[in-house]
Amino acid sequence: MSAVERIRAVAMLFGGDRQADRAVPPTGFTARLTIFTAGAMAFLAVFVLALSLTAGRVAYRWTEELARTSTLRISAPEGQVDAQVQAAIRVLETTPGVASARALTDDEQRALLAPWFGPDLPVGSLPIPQLIEIFEEAGGYDATGLRARLQAEVPGALLDDHARWRAPLVAAAERLKLLGYSAVILIAGATAAMITLAAQAALAANAQVIQVMRLVGARDVYIAGAFVRRFTLRALTGAAIGALVSGVAVGLLPELEVAGGILEGIGFSGAEWLWVLAIPILATLVAFVATRAAAFRTLRRHA
């Protein structure tokens, strides 16, 4: 098919030809089924996309933001803690790749423990290790070298560069994102299959109509157009409703603010909302291609 014919085919789709549409008898029940299925698929697609995009954002945040920080834990006998903290900060400040380091205040430590022990924990009177937050420069530091120096100068220090617990979380988020995108592709495939089946059924039911149209000199593109328009518009209607409902549902999901935004609520942010618009358009395209292929396949069997 040449580019011009392709454009004409699309133009015919939206320009419409009431006469050609009338030639194919109307079907109430199967039309509603097609609309419903397209709607359900669009609903799922929007939801899964929201999930994938959220997983992607979480993975990005864990990679980018947490990679820039690490924690030093000082466990020392009472009385030596302050001295060791001072020593550790001195070591850190002279370590290449470390931007800054600071000891957490009692209030901050209490806030960290609050989810587990409640708000009124007397931090000062308990043998709780002191945490030092390290901010890295873009290139990061040499963790092995830093550990060796700390071992020599601050015996009670333990360096945690977050890699150990960050890596599986990032992997999980990445995997979730991948699963989500695979689900979207499967949904698109299932939509194409469903529309093809519906169109195939309509074409078979209307064999007589096709036969008559052929006999009186209708070109294939004209006959196919009547079916393609019908199914494409149904898919568009269904998908628009499904995507809209799903978009509203996702928008109304409760916001999650856990541990300073490390986790976040499922949803779209900013330009990602355009996906809610894109899904019905994609569904329309899928329906167009699927019905057109089915129609021409069927027509080639007619004289």
Binding site for another protein (CB under 8 A): 19-20, 22-23, 25, 208-209, 211-222, 299-300, 303
Q: DSSP letter for 126, please.
A: S
Nearer to another protein, 205 or 253 (CB): 205
Least distance between another protein and beta carbon 235 (Å)? 24
Q: How far is the CB of 266 from another protein (least distance, A)?
A: 48
CA 63 from centre of chain: 17
20 vs 192, which CB is nearer to another protein? 20
Q: Which is nearer to another protein, 144 or 208 (CB)?
A: 208
What is the smallest separation between the CB atom of 10 and another protein, expressed in angstroms?
17
Nearby residues of 192 by Cβ (< 8 Å), 6 or more positions away: 286, 287, 289, 290
Closest distance of CB 232 from another protein, Å: 20
**What is the radius of gyration, based on Cα positions, of the chain?**
31
If one counts every other C-beta atom within 10 angstroms of the C-beta of residue 61, the result is: 16
> How far is residue 90 CA from its own chain's centroid?
44
- Closer to another protein by Cβ: residue 8 or 61: 8
Q: Which is nearer to another protein, 133 or 220 (CB)?
A: 220
Residues 6+ apart with CB under 8 A from 10: 288
Nearer Cβ to another protein (177/229): 229
273: exposed, middle or buried (Cβ count in 10 Å: 0-12, 13-18, 19+): middle
Q: Give 3-state DSSP helix, strand, coil % of the chain, rounded to 5.
A: 70, 10, 20
Min. distance of Cβ 204 from another protein in angstroms?
Answer: 17
Query: Is residue 202 within a helix (H) or strand (E), and if so which, with residue range?
Result: helix 163-205
Report the run of H or E that residue 269 belongs to, with start and end. Answer: none
Query: Rounded to the nearest whole angstrom, what is the least distance from the CB of residue 31 to another protein in the complex?
Result: 15
